[in-house]
């Protein structure tokens, strides 16, 4: 029943009319199997057509290797709203000196600069847990690249950017259940540059 609910949630996201996922999200954070969390994120796009906004995200670890996420957001500028879904598949775990390596795929549909675009991206991702002043944190890097189809003109374009970020529990008594995130995205080709700050809370 829980699997069916999660799949229905993802399908409903993919069928929505406007999708654009900002950032890598919490998919690289070491969740327990079947654990899920909700996140609130502040988004700041600094490139052309950008603006400041808010984004909500739901993340669930389906099994030892697969994490699903999806959400929605609103912002000022030419990227006014979005809804998105993605899947992160772990290839190698974070173990001893070995970093976690995964592939994250995302399906997106966005209306930007008066044109609607369907975008499929794949992001090789590397993350590793480190101890910072007695607290565990998880820096990560990803390289999303993909293809977008501009519906009105029927033209294809390639897109790419670089994401750098870090995830970790808040180091304050009474708030350690919360996970904070910070991420920077840099445009490489026909994408966007921005900064994202998030706060997540586990639902189980």
Would you state the pLDDT for residue 153? 81
pLDDT on residue 84: 86
Residue 17: its pLDDT value, please?
A: 32
- The domain tally of the chain equals 1
CA angle 139, 96, 143 (to 5 degrees): 35
Please report the pLDDT score of residue 22 as a whole number.
66
CA dihedral sign, ordered 185, 186, 191, 195: positive
pLDDT grade for 1, boundaries at 50, 70 and 90: very low
With cut-offs at 50, 70 and 90, classify the pLDDT of residue 35.
very high
pLDDT of residue 150: 82
- Taking the C-alpha atoms of residue 168 and residue 29, their distance in angstroms, rounded to an integer, is 8
What pLDDT, in 10s, does the model give residues 152-199? Answer: 788 899 999 999 999 999 999 999 999 999 999 999 998 889 999 999
Confidence of residue 14 (pLDDT cuts 50, 70, 90): very low
> Which domain range does residue 22 map to?
2-202
Give the pLDDT score at 118. Answer: 80
Find the mean pLDDT for residues 125-139: 93
Query: What is the CATH number for 90?
Result: 2.40.128
């Amino acid at each position: 029943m829980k699997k069916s609910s999660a799949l229905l949630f993802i399908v409903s996201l993919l069928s929505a009319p406007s999708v654009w996922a900002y950032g890598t999200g919490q998919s690289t954070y070491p969740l327990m199997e079947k654990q899920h969390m909700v996140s609130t994120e502040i988004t700041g796009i600094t490139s052309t057509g950008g603006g400041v906004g808010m984004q909500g995200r739901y993340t669930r670890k389906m099994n030892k290797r697969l994490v699903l996420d999806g959400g929605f957001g609103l912002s000022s500028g030419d990227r006014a709203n979005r809804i998105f879904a993605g899947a992160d598949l772990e290839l190698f775990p974070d173990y001893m000196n070995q970093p976690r390596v995964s592939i994250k795929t995302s399906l997106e549909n966005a209306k930007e600069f008066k044109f609607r675009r369907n975008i499929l991206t794949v992001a090789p991702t590397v993350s590793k847990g480190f101890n910072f002043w007695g607290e565990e944190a998880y820096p990560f890097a990803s390289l999303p690249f993909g293809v977008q189809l501009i519906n009105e003109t029927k033209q294809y374009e390639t897109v790419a950017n670089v994401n750098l970020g870090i995830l970790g529990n808040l180091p304050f008594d009474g708030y350690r259940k919360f996970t904070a995130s910070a991420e920077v995205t840099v445009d490489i080709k026909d994408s966007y540059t921005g900064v994202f700050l998030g706060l997540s809370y586990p639902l189980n």
